[in-house]
Each structure stands twice: as structure tokens, then as C-alpha cells.
Amino acid sequence: MKSIHKLIIAISISVGALVTSCQKLDIPPTNIFTPDIIFGSEAGVKSFLATIYRGLPIEDFKYRPDQGFKTGGNDWENFFNSASVTGEEVGPFGGMDIGGGFGYWPYGDIRNVNILIEELPKHADKLGQANVDALLGEAHFLRAYYYFGLAKRYGGVPIVTTVQDPGAPLSELQVHRDKEEATWDFIGAELDLGYQMMNETNELGRANKYAAAALKSRAMLYAGTIAKYGSANFVDGQARAEGFAGIPADKANGYFTKAYDAAKLLEGHYSLYEKNSDKVQNYVDLFLKSESPENIFVKQYSIISGTAHSWDATMSPRYMTANALTRSYPTLDLVQRWGNLPVTNLDGTPKRFNDRAELMQGLEPRLLATVYFPGATLRGLTFDMQRGIYPSFNGTAAAEVAKPANSRSYILSGDTKTLYQGRMIIGFTGPWTGGDELTRTGFYVRKYIDAAKPISTVDLNRSEQPWIDLRYAEILLNRAEAAMELGNAGDALTVINMIRNRAGATPYTSIDIDKIRNERGMELAFENQYYWDLKRWRIADVVLNNARFKGLMPYYVFNENKYIFLSEPELFQRNYNFDKKFYYEPIPGGELGKNPNLYPNNPNY
Amino acid sequence: MKKLISRILLGATILASSACTKIDNYDGPNASFEGNLISSEGGNLLTSQGSSQIRLEQISWSATPSPQEIPSKFDGTFKDSKLFKGTYKVIPKGGAFWPLYDTLTVDINKGTKHDFTVTPYILIKNFTAVLNGKTLTLKYTMEAPIGAGLPTIIETQPYVNNTKLVGAGASIRDFSDIYKKAINKEWADMTDADKSVTIDIPDMLPGRKFFVRVGVRLNDSFKSSNFSDIIEIDVPAN
């Protein structure tokens, strides 16, 4: 009896095992996303796009030019910006510390775009042909954006447009460098596709067809100026001789024409922000109001997703914030782009002011909206910049500044608590050299500062105002510069005066290339453009040749009860030198090790 | 307890005896390369901190080696005694001399010597430094061994330091950089007056010893400078 039981059990087990075991495990894996899942729905494509957008080389608040596009740890150090090595500001960098770049090499991100471009047409049945076309256009824009980030750093780079198979022979995977001209032409062609295929509008934070045209105007202007000025001022070397670093001069006008035509495409679709009749507040608002008709392409931030930036907390002193660390400050040299400030009388003596704020009278609204002057207010508090006290002041400003520090008769202080006959010697907002929180030039940044935030909320990683990566004012400046390079001064003048009118400046009656460049410097100050402008105009080695920058130091003259302002070397006392080889960054050493076809490296590396 | 200790000792002995059976079969960096940068106009090329280097590429190691550089000393000599033995492509670079394009291939071993001859862009001749009271007057003239095709002359300036190591990046700013004279001319457009320079440096500190030289900077790929020789100046105490 027992043995029969055993028999039955044995048989049923073996039968059961025989019947069920031979199922083949040929099913799609359930724990990874297959292309069907990702590209079969709009939500799937959107999540894939989010990864690509997140990696985009947008030089925003958090971009640190010697370390890269920061997220997470230490992404709050927003004062490590390119403005603070180019003389727009002075700041934490000891000198020209960003010339070698940070080894940017985004071929992983480009591979993602290539996957998108390869996969999308296969899923037209589920996504719809119109959707697929618009998304493909967006993908071409994104690919161009990545290549633009490469071309402006390295010149010619390998153009990879397919999804490489990791199992392919090494000779196929080690792609050769393309010429610089070919790289810029590729970027132009990609953006043409983007313009043709994308829709007029898109979600906030994503590109539409006009973003492609706008980026094209920027990229082609870069290429044109590199062709024109790079063939006059260059570093000799193999990479240049073979066309990897440098574009023939006769190609310049072709690129300028493309830049001009691309900029024209936006006409009538975007306009300068002019909603507030108070010109200063209008210019402040344009960086903070999301409904601005000037915004073409923006990057958004949020506290909830942990992406918030720290602009408000790192550009204003702790006096006006909850927990600030400032370190970079606008220079007097930048402010003088708008002309010399009326701080000196005709006989050379410093002009006397009853109140610091008087200095701001009559200045251009755009200047006052870009930089906080002594006497300005933020969150109910006054920028009380004061470098020290003169018991009395005689003679000219120039003679006083030329004296060695120990023979000047001023009284300085190491902190705000020290008083001179009952008066504070230095202001709550500096200038002071003892720590990292107070200005060393007499100015603070105002652009992008959200004055409406209560003091208690102004902290690190607590700012959410979007970064405007492409705005119409820049496109107008691109158009004016391209027009001027092509000899169309009339259009350049018209366009520059549109910008000057909005800024509250006096319109020009005539125009030249220096005025256009200066207008660009004023309009786009602190927007991470000027470093690239200096490079593509090939003047960085002249402008930053042992360069030292100035600040404007306010003093109180005790016996007269007046304020004076002296133009003095900024208090970091930094020195900036741009080496000519920095016009191109070195191809990263690790990549050269993996791919010998990337040789020759750029000249002098 | 005794057993435990002896077992541990045994284990340690086995471990120790099995270690260190192989030795590194590569030679250490025991080769050296030295020599002079000789000026075609006589003597060594006068250089300064970071102005000229010898670039080496070890082609016996890799077809695309990472370049390494030997900086030249102030007297135009160079030496690196910690190189790996092998075949190198070598070339002087950095200026201020007419660039060489043909790299030389040398087998570098112990005590390898080679002198390079270069043609400087500019020669500084008749350099005098005369102290008058506290004012130091520098006079010199510029000559170009080859005038045609010379890079634009940017500027000329004195370098004053309190050590013998004086030159670009090694000078006292208040006596040096602020007396820089801008030129920004092609050599062919420079008059004789442009080529003969006088610079006054006032308010030299009494009772100090200074080392003085002058330089002319050109707009080549390196923005390099040609230098004069160095003159020692004793400023008398008051």
C-alpha cells in the first residue's frame, strides 16, 4: 500500500515535470524597458527626451566653466561663472582659470539622440506621423545643441550620426575628427531640419521651430567670426594646417549670411519685453516674468525636484538674504561700457554727493537694472557701500589713488562694528576684504535677482526663476552683428536702436562694429556670452593681457558730511592673462588615449 | 597559546616566502637629455621663466604619445635626468625664435646631449642701465636677424627683480609692468626711433640690489618675448 502511494507520487511528479518544464523562456524581459515601451507612447518618448534635455550644455546659473554643468553637490556655487574671469566681474577664480575647459565630451548624450532619431520612424503607427516629424525635428535641434557645445570648445570633432554597435570592430568605433568647417556646417544643417520639422509652439522648457532658428543665428555667427578673425589671429600647428582648428577666411560671409537669415526668421514671432512703462522695472521684469514674449528657450528649476539654483543667495550680501555667500562682483570696467560715471569734477577733484544714491541720477535704466549701485535698495534694505572714511579730503582723485596705501589719510575697518566718531566706517554691504560675503568692487549683480522674495526664503538652492537661454534681444544682436559684417549698416542701426529704446538709452544716429559689440556686452552682461564673444572675436589675448580691473569705492568725507567715489583697483587685486592656445580647448586626454584618430590635438597642447 | 603563536608564525612565513618572487622588468627613468638652445646670432638664446621648452614625444612607446616638455633655464640650457630610455621626437618651442617645423628623432639614453640652433626674432643690443640719483635709465636698441615676416611687435618693457631670476612672471610690478611701452607695429613700419628705446624708472629703493633686464614681446603663437642680458644695479643708501 505504501509503495503504491510512493509510485503515484513519483509518476505524478515526473509527468508534471515533463509537461511543464519544456516551455521555452522566450519572452520579452519584464524588468527592462524595450524600445516598444519607450517609443510606443508619447509619455515614454517624453521621459526619454527629459534625459536628453537634462544633459543639454546650457550655460545657466549653475554652469561652472572649469568643472561643467553641475547638479547636486556643490551646484550652489553660482559665483564661479565665466563673467568673473573676463572682467565683467571679478570673483573667486584666481586668474584665467577656465581656458582649458573641463574636458566636455558628451558622446553618451549624443548617442541617446541618435537612438531617438533611429527609433522614432519605426513607431509612426502608434505616435502618428505628424508627432514623429515634430519629435524628429526636436531631436535634430538637440543634436545640434550638443555639437554646438563641442564645436565652440574644440573646433572640429567627430560627427557621429548613427547608433554605434559596441561589438563593431575598433576601427569603426574610433571615429576620425571632422574638420571645423564641416562641424559648423553639420550644426547649421541640423538646425535647418529642426526649423522645418518642429511646430510653432511647444511645452515650456522644450524647443520649438524658432528655437532652432535662434540657435542657428548664434552658431553661424560664431562660425563666421571664427573664419574671419581666426584666420588673422591664430596659433600655428598641425590641427590648424589640417583644418581641424580654423575655418578659411573666405567662408566668413557665407556664415554671416546664414546667421542673418536665421535671425530674420524670428521677426514678427517674438518681440522685446516692454510691458512696464518704468524702464528700470521693465528691464528687471524681463528676466523674471515667464510670460515675456522675448523668451525663446528657457530652462526651469524647482525646489521639489532638487534642481533649484542659488542665484539670489550668491549674488547679494548676507545682509539682504537668509544665508548668502557672495564672491563675484561687477567691475567698474563693465559699468563704464555705458560711459564714464560722473564722479570727478573737471579739475580732477572727486565730486561731492550728499547721498550715495545721487550717483544713480540720469544713468541708463538698463544699467541700473543690471547692477546694484551704492544707494539702491533690495528687500527694504539699502546698499550702503562705503569703503572707509576720510576725516577730510583734499586734492584730486587720481593723486589720492596713486598714493601708497599707507600714506593715504583714510580710515578703514575690519568690521562693521568699528565706529569713527559715532559713524560706521564700512557699510553693511562692504566693500571689505576680510571675508567672502561683501563686494570688492563697490557693486552687486542685479540681473535675474528676484527682489520679491522675502529675506527668510533667500537661501542656497532655493531660487526657481528660469534661465533664459535664448532670448529675442540676443537674436537681434546676432542679426545686427551679422548685418554689419556683411556691410548692411542700415539694418544694424535699426536693430540696435530697438534694443536701445527698450533699454531706455539714447538711440544712435550712426553705427560701427565696436558699438555693436559694446551693445552686446551691455545687453547680455552676466549671461555667459561674453567669454565666447571674446574668444570668437579673437581679442581675448588682447583684452586679457595682464589685465587688472577696477572697482568704484565710496567714501564718506567727515568734515564735509559728503560722499565721494574713487575709481580704484578692485580689492581681490587679480591679474588675468589669456593664453592664445585657449582659443581652442585641448581634446580631453582620456579620449585621446581611447581613440588615436582624434589626433592631432589642438595647437600647443 | 604557544601552538597558536607558532601557527601564526608559520602562516606569516609561508606568506612572506610566497611574496616578492617577481621583479619589475622595466628600467627606471634613468636616461637623460640635456643641451643648449644656441642663438644663430651667437651665444645661447636668452630666455625667462616658462618662455621656451623642449617638447619630447616618446615614439618608441606609442604612435600617439602624450607630449612632455623640458623647460629651458634662464641661460638657454635645458636638462632632464629622469627620462625613460627610448626613441623620442624632439623640438624646441615656445619662442621667441623663428619656429622650427622639422622634429628631430633621437635615441635618448644615459647622458644624451643635443644642441639646437634657433634664430631669435629680435636681438636687444647696446643695453645699458644707468642710475642717476634714484632714477634708473635703461637704453637699448632692437635688431631683427630676419625682418621679413616677423610677427607684430606688441610692446617692450623692463623687468626688475631682487633676485637673479628676473624676467616675465618674475619681476616687481611697480618697477616693471607699469613702465611697459606699447608698440603694436610691424617691423617694417618701425622707424629707427621706434627701435631705440629709453625707459626711466623713478624712485628705486635706496640701499637695495636689483637685477634688471628688458624684453620685447611679439604676437606669435605664444606671445613670446626676446630678452636682454641681466644687469645688476646697486642703489646706494641715502
Residue A22 has a pLDDT of 59
Contact flag B66-A604 (C-beta cutoff 8 Å):
no
Q: Is B84 on the interface with A (CB under 8 A)?
A: no
pLDDT at residue A21 greater than cutoff 70: no
What CA–CA distances, in Å, run from A201 to A44, A51, A138, B214?
20, 21, 11, 63
**A558 C-beta neighbours (distance < 10 Å), count:** 16
A152 is written with which cell numbers? 565652440
Contact flag B223-A541 (C-beta cutoff 8 Å):
yes
Residue B169 has a pLDDT of 83
Dihedral sign (CA A490, A492, A495, A497): negative
Q: Residues 1..40 of B with a Cβ closer than 8 Å to A: which?
A: none
Smallest Cα distance from B222 to chain A, Å: 7
Contacts of A207 (CB under 8 A, 6+ apart): A138, A141, A142, A194, A198, A297
How far apart (Å, rounded) are the C-alpha atoms in residues B44 and B72? 11
Interface test with A, best of B51, B64, B102 (most A CBs within 10 A): B64
Residue A47 has a pLDDT of 94
DSSP A195-227: HHHS-S---TTS--HHHHHHHHHHHHHHHHHHH
Q: Which residue type is seen at A191?
A: L
Phi-psi region of A422 (alpha: psi -120 to 50; beta: other; left: phi over 0): left
Calculate mean pLDDT across residues A69-97. 93
Q: Residues 205..224 of B with a Cβ closer than 8 Å to A: which?
A: 219, 221-223
Calculate mean pLDDT across residues A442-448. 97
So where are chain B's domains?
31-118, 123-234
Contact flag B222-A546 (C-beta cutoff 8 Å):
no
Contacts of A403 (CB under 8 A, 6+ apart): none
> Which residue from A minimizes the CA distance to B174?
A404
Residue B6 has a pLDDT of 85
Q: Choose the closest CB to A596 out of B64, B93, B177.
A: B64
**B175 C-beta neighbours (distance < 10 Å), count:** 21
- Could you report how far apart the first and last alpha carbons of chain B are, in Å? 84
Calculate mean pLDDT across residues A147-174. 95
CB A329 within 8 A of CB A441: yes
Contact flag A581-B221 (C-beta cutoff 8 Å):
yes
Q: Which of A240-244, A288-292, B24-28, B178-182 has the lowest mean pLDDT?
A: B24-28
Q: Choose the closest CB to A603 out of B63, B221, B223.
A: B221
Smallest Cα distance from B64 to chain A, Å: 7
Residue A11 has a pLDDT of 79
Q: Which of A114, A105, A173, A176 is nearest to A142 (CA)?
A: A114
pLDDT at residue B54 greater than cutoff 60: yes
Residue A37 has a pLDDT of 86
Q: What pLDDT band is residue A19 in, cutting at 50, 70 and 90? A: low
Q: Which of A251-260, A405-414, A564-573 has the lowest mean pLDDT?
A: A405-414
Residue with cell 525663446: A296
Residue A23: helix, strand or coil by DSSP? coil
Q: What pLDDT band is residue A1 in, cutting at 50, 70 and 90? A: low
Smallest Cα distance from A596 to chain B, Å: 7
Residue A12 has a pLDDT of 76
**Residues of chain A with C-beta less than 8 angstroms from the C-beta of B221:** 234-237, 580-581, 603-604
**Residues of chain A with C-beta less than 8 angstroms from the C-beta of B63:** 596
Q: What pLDDT band is residue A23 in, cutting at 50, 70 and 90? A: low
Contact flag A580-B222 (C-beta cutoff 8 Å):
yes
Q: Where are the alpha helices (DSSP H) in A418-471?
A: none
Q: Which of A141-155, A156-170, B10-24 has the lowest mean pLDDT?
A: B10-24
- CA dihedral defined by B120, B122, B128, B134, rounded to 10 degrees? -110
φ/ψ of residue B39, rounded to 5: -80, 135
Q: Choose the closest CB to B64 out of A541, A580, A592.
A: A592
Q: Where are the alpha helices (DSSP H) in chain B?
A: 2-18, 192-195
Calculate mean pLDDT across residues B64-86. 91
Q: Which burial class, exposed, middle or buried, applies to B32 when counting CB atoms under 10 A from its CB (0-12, 13-18, 19+)?
A: middle
Q: Do the domains B123-234 and B31-118 match in fold?
A: yes
- CA dihedral defined by A180, A185, A190, A195, rounded to 10 degrees? 140
Residue A20 has a pLDDT of 65
Q: Which residue type is seen at A12?
A: S
pLDDT at residue B20 greater than cutoff 70: no
> Which residue from B minimizes the CA distance to A234?
B221
DSSP B56-73: EEETTT-SSPPPEEEEPP
Contact flag A235-B64 (C-beta cutoff 8 Å):
no
How far apart (Å, rounded) are the C-alpha atoms in residues A566 and A441? 11
Q: Is B65 on the interface with A (CB under 8 A)?
A: no
Q: What pLDDT band is residue A558 in, cutting at 50, 70 and 90? A: very high
Taking any CB pair shorter than 8 Å as contact, residues of chain A touching chain B are 233-237, 541, 545-546, 579-581, 589, 592, 596, 599, 603-604
Does the domain formed by A35-295+584-598 have CATH 3.40.50.300?
A: no
Q: Is B64 on the interface with A (CB under 8 A)?
A: yes
Q: Which of A66-80, A240-254, A480-494, A514-528 has the lowest mean pLDDT?
A: A66-80
Tell me which fold the domain B123-234 belongs to.
Answer: Immunoglobulin-like (2.60.40)
**Residues of chain A with C-beta less than 8 angstroms from the C-beta of B66:** 589, 592
What CA–CA distances, in Å, run from A281 to A207, A271, A334, A505?
28, 18, 21, 14
pLDDT at residue A26 greater than cutoff 80: no
Q: Which of A252, A580, A321 is nearest to A460 (CA)?
A: A321
CB B121 within 8 A of CB B187: no
How far apart (Å, rounded) are the C-alpha atoms in residues A601 and A584? 10
So where are chain A's domains?
35-295+584-598, 315-447+548-569
* Half-sphere exposure of residue B10: CA atoms within 13 angstroms, side-chain side: 6
Residue A159 has a pLDDT of 97
Q: What pLDDT band is residue B63 in, cutting at 50, 70 and 90? A: confident
Q: What pLDDT band is residue B48 in, cutting at 50, 70 and 90? A: confident
Smallest Cα distance from A17 to chain B, Å: 51
Residue A69 has a pLDDT of 94
Residue A19: helix, strand or coil by DSSP? helix
Contact flag A234-B63 (C-beta cutoff 8 Å):
no
**Residues of chain B with C-beta less than 8 angstroms from the C-beta of A235:** 221-222
When the pLDDT of each residue in chain A is averaged and rounded to a whole number, the result is 94
Calculate mean pLDDT across residues A201-213. 96
Beta strands A423-424 and A419-420 are: antiparallel
**Residues of chain A with C-beta less than 8 angstroms from the C-beta of B219:** 233
- pLDDT of B123-148, one tens digit each? 999 999 999 999 999 999 999 999 99
**A158 C-beta neighbours (distance < 10 Å), count:** 17
- pLDDT of B191-234, one tens digit each? 999 999 999 999 999 999 999 999 999 999 999 999 999 999 99
Residue B21 has a pLDDT of 63
Q: Considering only the top CATH level, what class is B31-118? A: mainly beta
Residue A16 has a pLDDT of 67
pLDDT at residue B236 greater than cutoff 70: yes
pLDDT at residue A421 greater than cutoff 80: yes
pLDDT at residue B119 greater than cutoff 70: yes
Interface test with B, best of A96, A234, A546 (most B CBs within 10 A): A546
Q: What pLDDT band is residue A416 in, cutting at 50, 70 and 90? A: confident
Interface test with B, best of A174, A235, A583 (most B CBs within 10 A): A235
> Which residue from A minimizes the CA distance to B68?
A605
Q: Is B184 on the interface with A (CB under 8 A)?
A: no
B205 is written with which cell numbers? 629703493
Q: Where are the alpha helices (DSSP H) in A339-459?
A: 365-370, 397-402
